[in-house]
Structure 1
Amino acid sequence: MFRQNVTWKTILAQPTAWYKSPEAQKIAANVLLYQHSNGGWEKNLDMVKPPKTPPKETTIDNGATTTQLTFLARVGTPECRAAALKAIEYLLAAQYPNGGWPQFWPLKKGYYTHITFNDDAMARVLTVLREIAQGKPDYAFVDAAQQQKCATAVTKGVACILKCQVVLQGKKTLWCAQHDEVSFAPAKARAYELPSLSGSESVDVLRFLMGEKPTPPVAAAIEGGIAWLKANQLTGIRIEKQGDDKVVVSDPSADPCWGRFYDLETGKPFFCGRDGIKKNSLAEIEKERRTGYSWYTNRGNQLLKDDYPTWKKRKH
Structure 2
Amino acid sequence: MFPRIAALFIAFVTLCAHVRADTPAEKLLKQPDDWFTSDKGRDALESILSWQSEHGDWPKNTDTTRQRRDEGSRRPAGTFDNGATTGELRVLARAFRITGDDRYRQAFLRGFDHILVAQYPNGGWPQRFPAGSGYHRHITFNDGTMIRLLQFLRDVTREEDFRFLDDAQRAAAQRAVERGLDCIVKCQIVVDGVPTVWCAQHHAETLAPVQARSYEHPSLSGAESVGILLFLMDLDEPSPDVVAAVHSGVAWIESAKIEGYRYRKSRTEPALTPDPDAPPLWARFYEIRTNRPIFSDRDGIVKYDIQEIGSERRGGYTWYGTWGTRALKEYARWPHR
TM over 0.5: yes
Equivalent residue for 1:280, pick from 304, 307, 317: 304
Q: Aligned residue for 1:20?
A: 36
- Report the AA paired with residue 50 of structure 1: R
Q: Aligned residue for 2:6?
A: none
Equivalent residue for 1:50, pick from 68, 72, 80: 68
Change (3 A) 1:255 1:25: farther
Do the aligned residues in 2 keep the contact of 1:99 with 1:158 (CA within 8 Å)?
A: yes
Structure 1 residue 189 corresponds to structure 2 residue 212 = yes
What displacement does 1:103 show?
1.0
**What is the TM-score normalised by the length of structure 2?**
0.85
Question: Matches of 1:247 and 1:66 in 2, distance apart?
Answer: 35
Question: How well do the aligned residues superpose, as a CA RMSD in angstroms?
Answer: 2.0
User: More deviation in 30-39 or 296-305?
Assistant: 296-305
Q: Aligned residue for 1:269?
A: 293
Do the aligned residues in 1 keep the contact of 2:263 with 2:271 (CA within 8 Å)?
A: yes
Question: Matches of 2:88 and 2:49 in 1, distance apart?
Answer: 9
Q: Aligned residue for 1:71?
A: 91
Aligned 1:150-229 pairs, distance under 5 A: 150-212=173-235, 213-229=237-253
What displacement does 1:145 show?
1.1
User: More deviation in 227-236 or 50-59?
Assistant: 50-59
User: More deviation in 176-185 or 69-78?
Assistant: 69-78
Change (3 A) 1:244 1:205: same
| Secondary structure of the corresponding residue to residue 194 of structure 1 | coil
What displacement does 1:80 show?
2.2
Equivalent residue for 2:154, pick from 124, 130, 133: 130
What displacement does 1:11 show?
3.8
Question: Matches of 1:260 and 1:242 in 2, distance apart?
Answer: 16
- Report the AA paired with residue 173 of structure 1: T
What displacement does 1:240 show?
2.4
Do the aligned residues in 2 keep the contact of 1:162 with 1:221 (CA within 8 Å)?
A: yes
| Secondary structure of the corresponding residue to residue 31 of structure 1 | helix
Superposed CA offset, 1:56-83 (max 9, x none): 3221111111121122223334222321
Do the aligned residues in 1 keep the contact of 2:24 with 2:63 (CA within 8 Å)?
A: no
User: More deviation in 40-49 or 12-21?
Assistant: 12-21
Do the aligned residues in 2 keep the contact of 1:233 with 1:256 (CA within 8 Å)?
A: yes
Structure 1 residue 30 corresponds to structure 2 residue 47 = yes
Question: Matches of 2:276 and 2:46 in 1, distance apart?
Answer: 50
Q: Aligned residue for 1:147?
A: 170
Do the aligned residues in 2 keep the contact of 1:258 with 1:298 (CA within 8 Å)?
A: yes
Superposed CA offset, 1:41-100 (max 9, x none): 111112122224332322111111112112222333422232122211010010011111
Do the aligned residues in 1 keep the contact of 2:267 with 2:314 (CA within 8 Å)?
A: no
**What is the TM-score normalised by the length of structure 1?**
0.91
Q: Aligned residue for 2:16?
A: none
What displacement does 1:238 show?
1.9
Give the structure, 1 or 2, with the largest relative contact order (CA under 8 Å, sep 6 or more): 2
- Report the AA paired with residue 168 of structure 1: V
Change (3 A) 1:17 1:298: same
For structure 1, list consecutive stretches of 5 or more residues without a partner in the other structure.
Answer: 1-6
- Report the AA paired with residue 17 of structure 1: P
Do the aligned residues in 2 keep the contact of 1:261 with 1:271 (CA within 8 Å)?
A: yes
- Report the AA paired with residue 170 of structure 1: G
Q: Aligned residue for 1:4?
A: none
Question: Matches of 1:223 and 1:56 in 2, distance apart?
Answer: 42
Do the aligned residues in 2 keep the contact of 1:24 with 1:75 (CA within 8 Å)?
A: no
| Secondary structure of the corresponding residue to residue 38 of structure 1 | coil
Aligned residues: 306
Superposed CA offset, 1:3-24 (max 9, x none): xxxx973542453516535233
Question: Matches of 1:192 and 1:239 in 2, distance apart?
Answer: 19
What displacement does 1:244 show?
6.0
Question: Matches of 2:270 and 2:41 in 1, distance apart?
Answer: 38
Q: Aligned residue for 1:3?
A: none
- Report the AA paired with residue 59 of structure 2: E
User: More deviation in 169-178 or 203-212?
Assistant: 203-212
Question: Matches of 2:270 and 2:42 in 1, distance apart?
Answer: 41
Change (3 A) 1:194 1:243: closer
Do the aligned residues in 1 keep the contact of 2:267 with 2:311 (CA within 8 Å)?
A: no
Structure 1 residue 9 corresponds to structure 2 residue 23 = yes
- Report the AA paired with residue 157 of structure 1: G
